[in-house]
Structure 1
């Protein structure tokens, strides 16, 4: 992920025409795709759903009114209310209105539910992180050490497309979302960064952080297990051993809870398994 703008693995060496060509290439050049960020248009989406909802309410009211008429109408109309094929075959006069209304409701319901599902999908995606958001705004507004004011890449109403972070959606969030990865990415990202040839943007690939965190997690896990076993082997006092088991178990649980994305049930399960290993080591006289 970029320290200042994004997670682009390879610097852009071809200078594109400023505007849609240059900004599109910038988004596409990010190997980790963390900068593929667009607006959700929450306000417009909500308004569109409200419009569709109101249209369906009107159609529903029309349907109910026709049902009331048929309830007090002829036997033929009542029969049509029970047999769809017959209603379609005799779709003339007032019955034609009923069939057309039913088909219109079907089409509008499909449009409404598709919009609901699309919005559900968008709302399940995460907004960009503060780092990516700040990076995109720097790039979009062409801000550099020599030009802190900059100028927008796109014109018209599009100059404000990145101003509301809550209305943005990242199409591909980082591969790892655990706390340790986030901490390393936010605090020590500069270690993995490198400058590009085209501008002052600095990048670092996400996979390097993943490899580093994997190695670090493995070392910490090994130290907690091996360190506990060595201490329990050296200490002969049963009281001290019980104290060490409690300390190492608490340390293990804290480490799992703070450095991983494990849920509470998973933390309990992992801690129980860890403490069981230590108890077996002590009770089995393996430390004597």
Structure 2
């Protein structure tokens, strides 16, 4: 029926009480907690602040209160954030360890940076616990080698 609203027995299909009755043809596959957070928290906030006000997304396109964004846009945002964090986190710990001269402070920084690395891995990936443990051990080993050579 073109741009006309649904008429007939389905005209209330988009109401909140019918929300659990809606079905997606292609379910969204989230690749981790970061994907869930960006999809469910960041993009709705972004839409309320920018999307509606600046006409970035047309909220009337799908239905009242519903909006669409390309899945590739969400994937690109997640990939960019993950790539930047993966590049900056290891280098930042080495820079901080280089600048600090006290051995006890350096060991404390090593412990804190390793814990942050493990936390970021757990939150940004679907890695299993054993994979997080192995990657964190390798990360700590590289930092220890840097400490011993400095």
Q: Could you state the TM-score of these two structures normalised by the residue count of structure 2?
A: 0.74
Q: Please list, as runs of the form range in 1=range in 2, the aligned pairs for 1:159-170 lying within 5 A after superposition.
A: none
Residue number among 21, 26, 29 corresponding to 1:172 in the alignment: 26
Asked which structure has the greater RCO (Cα within 8 Å, sep 6+), the reply is 1
Q: Is the 8 A contact 2:31 2:126 kept in 1?
A: yes
* Structure 2 stretches lacking a partner, 5+ long: 52-56
The answer on whether the counterparts of 2:14 and 2:63 sit within 8 Å (CA) in structure 1 is no
Q: Does 1:278 align with 2:150?
A: no
Following the alignment from structure 1 to structure 2, what is the Cα–Cα distance between the partners of residues 173 and 198?
17
Match of 2:13 among 141, 147, 151: 141
2:2 is matched with 14
Cα separation, partners in 2 of 1:280 and 1:140, compared to 1, 3 Å: farther
Question: Cα RMSD (Å) of the superposition?
Answer: 3.2
Q: Is the 8 A contact 1:177 1:261 kept in 2?
A: yes
Aligned-residue offset at 1:235: 0.9
Q: How many residues align?
A: 137
Equivalent residue for 2:121, pick from 252, 256, 261: 256
Q: 1:257 to 1:199 in 2, by over 3 A?
A: closer
Hey, what does 1:71 align to over in structure 2? none
Tell me the residue number matched to 2:104.
Answer: 239
Q: Identify the match of residue 265 of structure 1 among 127, 130, 139.
A: 130
Distance apart, 1:17 and its partner CA: 9.9
SS of equivalent residue, structure 2 residue 127:
coil
| Secondary structure in 2 matching 1:188 | helix
Match of 2:78 among 205, 213, 224: 213
Residue number in structure 2 paired with 1:226? 91
The 5 A counterparts of 1:1-288 are 14-15=2-3, 141-143=13-15, 172-190=26-44, 191=46, 194-195=57-58, 196-197=60-61, 199-200=63-64, 201-285=66-150
Instruction: Identify if the C-alpha distance between structure 1 residues 197 and 278 changes in structure 2 by more than 3 Å, giving closer, same or farther.
Output: same
Q: 5+ residue gaps in structure 1? A: 1-12, 20-136, 150-161
* 1:223, distance to aligned residue in structure 2 (A): 2.5
Q: Alignment partner of 1:203: what SS?
A: coil
**Helix, strand or coil at the partner of 2:98:** helix
Q: Which has the larger radius of gyration?
A: 1
Contact 1:176 1:210 in 2 (8 A): no
CA distance in 1, matches of 2:14, 2:100: 63
Per the TM alignment, residue 240 of structure 1 is displaced from its structure 2 partner at its CA by 1.4
